[in-house]
Structure 1
Amino acid sequence: MKAFGIALAAAVVLAIGASVLLEGTLSRTADQTFAAPSVRLSEDNTVQHRNFMGRPAE
């Protein structure tokens, strides 16, 4: 039973450590990750600024 408790505590500590490491130090935004000379990242190319409903009726 003592070994199970130690293993459980070690698993929790490793999970918390991995979470802190991955979220804090290794996370990057898409702008940083996919930055290349041929990539165009601007507001015109984002989903929020696209017009999926077509041209407005005038």
Structure 2
Amino acid sequence: MKSFVAAVAFAVFAAVGVAMVLNNFQESSSVAFTTTGARVGDPGHNLIGPS
């Protein structure tokens, strides 16, 4: 039982850590896909939410 609790605690710790790291690297699609061939403007309030 102790090993199961330790595994669950590690999974929660790892998930929170990875979420914090990924939050620093992610960018919105209006920024990520803006190239010379793509015309992505201000997203407003569509599926990706406010910028």
TM-score range with shorter-chain normalisation?
0.5 to 0.7
Query: For 1:22-33, what aligned pairs fall within 5 Å after superposition?
Result: 22=22, 24-33=23-32
Unpaired runs of 5+ residues, structure 2, are: 46-51
Q: In the comparison of the two structures, how many residue pairs are matched? A: 45
The structure 1 segments of at least 4 consecutive aligned residues displaced by more than 6 Å after TM superposition are: none
Higher relative contact order at CA 8 Å, sep ≥6: structure 1 or structure 2? 2
Q: What's 2:17 paired with?
A: 17
Q: Which amino acid aligns with 1:12?
A: V
Percent identity between matched residues is 27
Give the Cα separation in 1 of the matches to 2:7 and 2:35: 44
1:4 matched to 2:4? The reply is yes
Q: TM-score, normalised by structure 2?
A: 0.63
Aligned twin of 1:39: 38
Gaps of 5+ in 1: 49-58
Structure 1 length normalisation: TM-score? Answer: 0.58
